[in-house]
Amino acid sequence: MKSTIYIAGIGIISAIGDNAVQTLARLTASESGVSDMEILPSAYAGALPVAEVKYTNTQLAAISGLEPWQTRTAQLSMIAAREAKDNSKIDFMKWRCGFISANTVGGMDRTEDFMKDFLADASKGDLHDVINHDSGDATEIVAQKLGCTDYITTISTACSSSANAMMYGARLIQNDVADIIIAGGTDALSRFTLNGFKSLMILDENPCMPFDENRKGLNLGEGAGYVVLVSQRVLDSEGATALAVLSGYANANDAYHQTASSPEGNGNYAAMKGALEMAGLQPADIDYINLHGTGTPNNDVSEGTAIRRVFGDQPPVMSSTKAYTGHTLGASAGIEAVISIMALQHGIVFPNLRHQTQMKELPFAPQTTMLTKPLRHVLSNSFGFGGNCSSVIFSKN
């Protein structure tokens, strides 16, 4: 039997807050962070809404303590990961500490700046803008700053990346490779990402409407979210208090399509079933589902169909928080893990913003008003391109 993995700290930054306290306040006030572009220089400014962190890279550097020329992905990661570490109130220097971080865009925001100058004149372009391009660079920078260098890995599996980082971190602790793992993910907006999603024709020109019959697509976002994973031994030695238990998780791949989920939700179904089995729970034990809920026609039908297969026609209350934060890609599972843990702590189901009409394919709809109720087990879904599907369950300690 595998040892229990506890959540000892959380950290988050997104379009709805610079930290967990601000994020909770915006969620409970039903305030969305989706708005017009102000920071990202794009031809689609004014046409495609996004969920930006409203700071320039220089302003983020003043908060993160990194250099202004370092990538936006790293800046966001540093802010959220440091908050998670501080929130745990654990002396990390006493333990084998690792940092498992996910992202999909790497330093593309800086590379784009370099390429603009370089293409105009091959003798131009600031090399500071390209040396941090690869996805692993942000992980290395933040791990060094935090002093979590006993085990460092970057995971990039599209939108399930952060969930897979948490799973990997849990296994490292259970197999005595590390004592503490800060796990989650980060991603920044870039023109490359925005243009790519635009070419797939899955961006909504208005604030997104997850799980609504008239949904038209997603809104991209940016941010970072991390949890501190620890064993019982660390908790007892430090006299720390666990915020939640990582009770179950699973990853599956339906290998259906490069950018679409199977209509039957096969990967989604397998991930949810696997997480329930690991946690030793029945579907009826889940009190709230934090949906992947992107707002695209394909995702919401696929996820809804899988939920119906697992939970029947009367599933637990559910909502997508991407209507607040946008779809933050590699950071989404980390951000939504923090949101799920706050929901568990405070007994709050955050409403699915802008939902108006029930989908014709489903006999149920998401929660549209804030609901206060005791929560014991929260399921959070993260389903990525290429069919890489992950589900995690957080339970009351």
Residue bearing tokens 């934060």? 325
Residue bearing tokens 């992950």? 390
Nearest to 264 by CA among 272, 256, 275, 273: 256
User: Catalytic: which of 97, 148, 208, 292?
Assistant: 292
Does 257 participate in catalysis according to the annotation? no
Nearest to 223 by CA among 17, 14, 382: 14
Side chain identity, residue 262: S
Nearest to 166 by CA among 224, 227, 225, 105: 227
- The alpha-helical segments, DSSP class H, found in 206-296 are 232-238, 266-279
User: Catalytic: which of 97, 148, 159, 208?
Assistant: 159
User: Catalytic: which of 148, 208, 327, 355?
Assistant: 327
**CA pair distance 286, 15, nearest whole angstrom:** 28
| Burial degree of 396 (CB within 10 A; 0-12, 13-18, 19+) | middle
Does 159 participate in catalysis according to the annotation? yes
Does 377 participate in catalysis according to the annotation? no
Question: CB-side exposure of 41: number of CA atoms within 13 Å?
Answer: 7
Catalytic residues: 159, 292, 327
